[in-house]
Chain A
Amino acid sequence: MTDLKTTVVVVDDDLSVRRGLERLLRSTGYEVETFESGRSFIEHGDYGRIACLLLDVRMPGQSGFDVQRVLVGAGHKVPTIFITGHGDVAMAVQAMKAGAVDFIAKPFDEETLLAAVHQAVSTGTKVP
């Protein structure tokens, strides 16, 4: 199991959002790891085990796009779903261009999120 990418990582500066997502994903069987900022994720994240990355776009310090750029720059192909509280078409396009697999606007419903995560995880496992 260790080489299987099963961990879903949540990077969001909002504690409440982090905890809610963590519980939801855990309740559906995912292993979940959370980070409060892009910096702490980049420094401490175990990119190899990530099945799906839920990345908040707007955060103090490094934004979600910044984090994504670092990952791509370092050669990590991580299936990334951007989440944002104030998304618009332009931002969604930017996210997809940056290599995201999906883009979800807050507040989202359970099915949308889980479907997106499931999709990302399966995509990630099929294409190593």
Chain B
Amino acid sequence: MSTSAILIAFGYYAGANLGFLLRFPPSTPSVLWPPNSILTAALLLTPPRRWWICLLAALPAHLAAEFQVAWPTTLVLALFLTNCSEALIAAVGVRLLSDAPTRLDTLRRMSVFIGAAGLVAPFLSSFLDAGVVTTLRGEAYWLVWGTRFFSNVLTELLLVPVIVMTATLGRAWITHASRARKAEAVLVLAALVLVAGWAFGVIGGGPRVLEGPVAPVVLLLPIVLLAMARLGSAGASLCLLTTALIAVGAAVNGRAPFAGMPLAETVMELQMVLIVMAIPVLCLAAGMMERRRGLRRFARRVAELRANEALRSAILASLNSAVAVLDEDGQIIAVNTSWTRASDGPACPISAGLGVGDNFLEACRQAAGDAPYAAAAVSGITGVLGGTRAGFTLEYPCRREAGEYWFAMSVVRLDRPEGGAVVSCTDVSERKRAELHVEQNRQELTHFMRVSMMGELTASLAHELNQPLTGIMANAAAGLRFLGTVPPKLDEVREILADILADDKRAGDVIQRLREFLRKSEPRRVPLDVNLLTQDVVRLLGSDAVIRSVTIRLELDDKPAIVCADGVQLQQVILNLLLNAMDAIGDGPDDRRSIVVRTHNTELETVHVSVEDSGTGLKTGNREMLFEPFFTTKPTGMGMGLAISRSIIEAHDGVIWALDNATGGATFHFALPEFRGGAT
């Protein structure tokens, strides 16, 4: 701050001395009076709370400068006050209406500066100044006012921009501007000095034909305009200041264009010409800077857009999926190379042959007659285009001579005001075939496990069939005997035959259940009641439980527990868990030979099934391994039962897990999504 204060003091003092040089005694005001403008610039560059330092720094400089002319102290002090008032009015005006330190690089900033600092501040402060000078020195009021006003307007307009811009941009310009630009600035300024020197008769004889200040100034116009166009506000104001200094210097020294002219009028004319030229030049310079910046921004934006476009094209081209961009009516407005290429290979039946300009939505509508998936595509795309859904995906098959192909269509909304959508079609046949293969293997294995599980149930099944067969045999033998009596006991025989029929049906049911269970069929998911299913399984296993002296207790939910599942596979899971439970009980003590099967409709819209045994429990560390293939704790186990059970449950979007009971034994759980009348 102290450096600034010294600079301000020095500048003020030097400016005052320059002002004295450019004066036409006996009139007090100068043609150019720099101190006020230097103070104005200082205030514009300083935050308001430090303005007092600037003003205080200027006071000694003012006193030192003014005492050279031996004026009364009162006048000197009064003139300091009027100078300060001008600077304050200018700085406050600019700060209120624009910004500070002002950059003067837009038309608005420059206009505010010209208005507040260039015109209003000198206009108002000149009344004070004229009053002081008139009172203390008896000069003519309006003459003083006019002289001071014009000189201060001129100085404010020419000097403040130069100082402010030098202070704010000078260092950056010296560091960053290219050498060519610096050379250009030096050349323009040198040309101006030379031409001005010549035009105003400072260098050489000067143009004798020209009289008065107008013509030489006009001569300089091309250079000023060049500076304005090439060097901006700073260059223009520097040129104008240089011109003014040379012109005023020439006028004060009575050089050629001013020779023999009345001094006061010459000065006034010179000031008017310079002011009239300065205002439009400064405005134009600021406007051009603003415009140039706008153009640069625009160019940058265009370059960015181009880069984005290039990026987008590259991304689109690199995609293996066939991609098309649709407008709001479903018409194709852009496609990528994969889309165009797709028509050569096994193409998506909808998109094949369509290109830019064709209506994709219409093509889907036409295909909808033969293919249900096309109808799904129509409703999906319509939803996306209509804004009711953000996107949708669809997988659909398509038969070709070479085999079956699968495609995945994905449609997302195009985020722009008029709407539209991006459609991508991908050949997912490989994945689909792999999935089908895996699923097929899983089915095979599942069936194999069912068959092998039946092996464990042979004793039970033999028992199940033995009972009705024994009944039938005994009944039939008795019937023959009753027929042999005289008279035949026909009532007995009738009852016997009814019992035989019932037994036969019972045996048939066992066979039927067995066949169902062993049948190798495509899994078919239907809504079914887990309670009924559990009862069926327990019936199938009932004899086995009796043989092994195990009690199976059912605690089923009062309400039907409906899931959407393949019944046989689900039975397989329950059967597997029950067989495991019985194995776990093994040769355990008589009071620990029970299994509890529970079903429960949970609040989480799932059906929870648990099989609790009173066996040996899970071995520590086995819990994570339990459901892994080939993991077994049984001497003759294959280790596939639980792995298959897990794959079945997971294929039904469920989970399966196992926990040890607090009272010994283990409980296996699984949970499946509850089926809610098609609303899943």
A interface residues with partner B (beta carbon < 8 Å): 13-14, 16-17, 19-21, 23-24, 26-28, 58-60, 63, 85-86, 106-110, 113
Contact = CB atoms under 8 A, between A and B. Distances in A.
Given A59-B546, A108-B470, A85 B463 contact: yes
B358 interface: no
Interface stretch (B427-435, B472-480, B630-638, B658-666): B472-480
B462 interface: yes
B478 A16 contact: no
Interface in B420-463: 459, 462-463
Given A24-B474, A60-B546, A107-B470, A19 B551 contact: no
10 contacts: A14-B467, A16-B468, A17-B471, A20-B473, A23-B492, A24-B477, A85-B466, A85-B467, A85-B543, A110-B473
A110 B467 contact: no
B472 to A, nearest CB: 7
A106 B463 CA distance: 9
B306 interface: no
Contacts of A23: 474-475, 478-479, 482, 492, 496
Contacts of B479: 23
B502 to A, nearest CB: 7
User: Binding site of B, secondary structure by majority: helix, strand, loop or mixed?
Assistant: helix
B459 A16 contact: no
B481 A28 contact: yes
B547 interface: yes
Contacts of B462: 85-86
Contact of A24 (B475, B502, B506, B549): B475
Contacts of A110: 473-474, 477
Interface residues of B, number: 29
Given A24-B475, A86-B547, A107-B469, A16 B481 contact: no
Nearest to A21: B474
Given A23-B496, A27-B481, A85-B462, A107 B473 contact: yes
Contacts of B474: 17, 20-21, 23-24, 110, 113
A109 B477 CA distance: 9
B628 interface: no
A14 B543 CA distance: 11
Contacts of A58: 463, 546-547
Contact of B467 (A17, A24, A26, A63): A17
A21 B492 CA distance: 13
A26 B477 CA distance: 11
B79 to A, nearest CB: 126
B329 interface: no
Contact of B471 (A13, A20, A109): A20
A64 to B, nearest CB: 12
Nearest to B547: A58
A40 B12 CA distance: 129
Contacts of A24: 474-475, 477-478, 481
Contacts of A14: 467, 470-471
A21 B478 CA distance: 8
